[in-house]
Amino acid sequence: MREVYLDNSATTPVLPEVAAVMHKIHTDTYGNPSSLHRMGVEAEKIKRRARRTLADACSVKESEIYFTSGGTEANNLAVMGVARRLRRRGLHLVTTQVEHPSVLYACRLLEQEGFALTYLPVDREGIVSPAAVADAMRADTLLVSVMHVNNEVGAIQPLAEIGALIKKNNSETLFHVDAVQSFGKLPVQPLLWQADLVTFSAHKLHGPKGVGALYKRQAVHMEPFFHGGGQEDGLRPGTENMAGIGGFAEAARLATAKLSAHALALSKLKKNFSAGILAAIPDICWNSSEEGAPHILNISVAGTRGEVLVHALAEEGVYISTGAACHSRRPELSHVLLAMGRKEKDVEAALRFSFSPLNTEEALVYALEKLQAAVLSIRRVTRR
Ligand SMILES: Cc1ncc(COP(=O)(O)O)c(C=O)c1O
């Protein structure tokens, strides 16, 4: 059976070049970077090069990149690590209603610890208003956390405006950005955004799972989760996932070298696929806007259930999702689409197609054919 993978926001396949780097680290340069001998020195060099690659990709200092076990850990660490460390200075944090669960659940936990949280609403396109961020800030606001690209609908937040307003209001309030869905597809610019903390994950850009990074501006202090050896400046101790780190850097190098070409190719895929849907399937509610990220398209097909369509397409070898992979196995309604004011029946009908530069126009024509057939057959049955 032919297979078309359109769930690249959930995860992506590891590129052969990345797998080769990882294999070499596993079997050849496998030293512990903390060891004093030649193998350790070699491993330390690999780690330093990886840190530099990530730092260069977003124009920050090498010493400001900390490797983690992924985006979830980096988001948890940014939000909880700052709040717990700065507790005596304030008890308030601001975020949005459409963040990834790894930010939202960290915030919920902080509420149980006595912090006050403001969850900002978004408009119908999923965008938070910079003025609303500024209005929500209090004298004791420790941190504002706003994602770059939303993982379910691809909405891009106006981070430069938000960052400028935060710093104008209170230069001590820290700004955290979850850039997991944008890194490798759009420019990630901590300095332009005036961000103090930025989260990255490798497996969304054809790198391995289980490795990510946190950019932390030098002057920012936070409480670590783990305690042990002094790795990663004590912020994230534990023997490093060296193959993961090397693979992450290779994936980031490859993605950033072709950033604009890839963004253009992805936009074209999204545009043509959207035009195909518009022509072939009536009664679509568009949950992603044209101005959104080039690799995410979220739609609701009236008269269907997302889950049913996901399974019907999977039987034809077309892999998509109903929303965020991290919680799509749970029968919860998308908090993102609800925050965007979609009706419950449209939320239940949501489908997310997410593209990678490895997808071809021809594969999308095939996926569209299968989608059209599945929708027709579901609508025929439900009309009876
Ligand atoms: C926006 C966003 N943030 C964070 C994460 C979590 O990253 P990881 O899977 O590396 O833990 C994801 C994963 O889906 C995501 O989409």
**CA 256/CA 253 separation, integer angstroms:** 5
Atom number, ligand 1, closest to the C-alpha of residue 73: 11
Tell me which residue has its CA closest to atom 4 in ligand 1.
71
How confident is the model at residue 325, as a pLDDT? 47
Ligand 1 pocket: which of 147, 148, 199, 201 to mutate (most atoms <8 Å of CB)?
201
* Banded model confidence at residue 33, pLDDT cuts 50, 70, 90: very high
For residues 322 and 333, is the Cβ–Cβ distance under 8 A?
A: no
**At CA 170, angle to CA 164 and CA 175, rounded to 5?**
60
Of 234, 257, 280, the last residue of a domain is: 257
For residues 300 and 349, is the Cβ–Cβ distance under 8 A?
A: yes
Q: Which of 14-18, 19-23, 133-137, 374-378 has the lowest mean pLDDT?
A: 374-378
Domain shared by 40 and 85, yes or no:
yes
- For a pLDDT cut of 90, what percent of the chain falls above it? 95
Parent domain of 73: 16-257
Per-residue pLDDT at 323 exceeds 90:
no
pLDDT, one tens digit per residue, over 97-115 is 999 999 999 999 999 999 9
Q: What is 78-146 written as a DSSP string?
A: HHHHHHHHTTTT--EEEEETTS-HHHHHHHHHHHHTT-EEEEE---TTSPPPHHHHHHH--TTEEEEE-
Per-residue pLDDT at 117 exceeds 60:
yes
The pLDDT mean for the chain works out to 96
Domain shared by 247 and 280, yes or no:
no
Domain shared by 199 and 70, yes or no:
yes
Domain shared by 188 and 327, yes or no:
no
For residues 359 and 6, is the Cβ–Cβ distance under 8 A?
A: yes
Domain shared by 95 and 37, yes or no:
yes
The pTM for the full model equals 0.97
CATH label of the domain that carries residue 211: 3.40.640.10
pLDDT, one tens digit per residue, over 262-291 is 999 999 999 999 999 999 999 999 999 999
Domain shared by 178 and 253, yes or no:
yes
Of 242, 257, 272, the last residue of a domain is: 257
Per-residue pLDDT at 259 exceeds 70:
yes
pLDDT, one tens digit per residue, over 39-56 is 999 999 999 999 999 999
Of 257, 276, 305, the last residue of a domain is: 257
CATH label of the domain that carries residue 370: 3.90.1150.10
How confident is the model at residue 324, as a pLDDT? 53
Helices (H) and strands (E) counted in the chain, each on its own, are 13, 12
Ligand 1 pocket: which of 69, 151, 200, 205 to mutate (most atoms <8 Å of CB)?
151
Residues near ligand 1 (Cβ within 6 A): 70-72, 75, 100, 102, 147, 151, 178, 180-181, 201, 203, 212, 325-326
CA of 78 to the centre of ligand 1 (A): 14
Verify whether residue 326 is a known catalytic residue: yes
pLDDT, one tens digit per residue, over 204-235 is 999 999 999 999 999 999 999 999 999 999 99
Domain shared by 290 and 300, yes or no:
yes
Domain shared by 217 and 297, yes or no:
no
Number of domains in the chain: 2
pLDDT, one tens digit per residue, over 55-65 is 999 999 999 99
Domain shared by 242 and 267, yes or no:
no
Domain shared by 225 and 274, yes or no:
no
Atom number, ligand 1, closest to the C-alpha of residue 324: 14
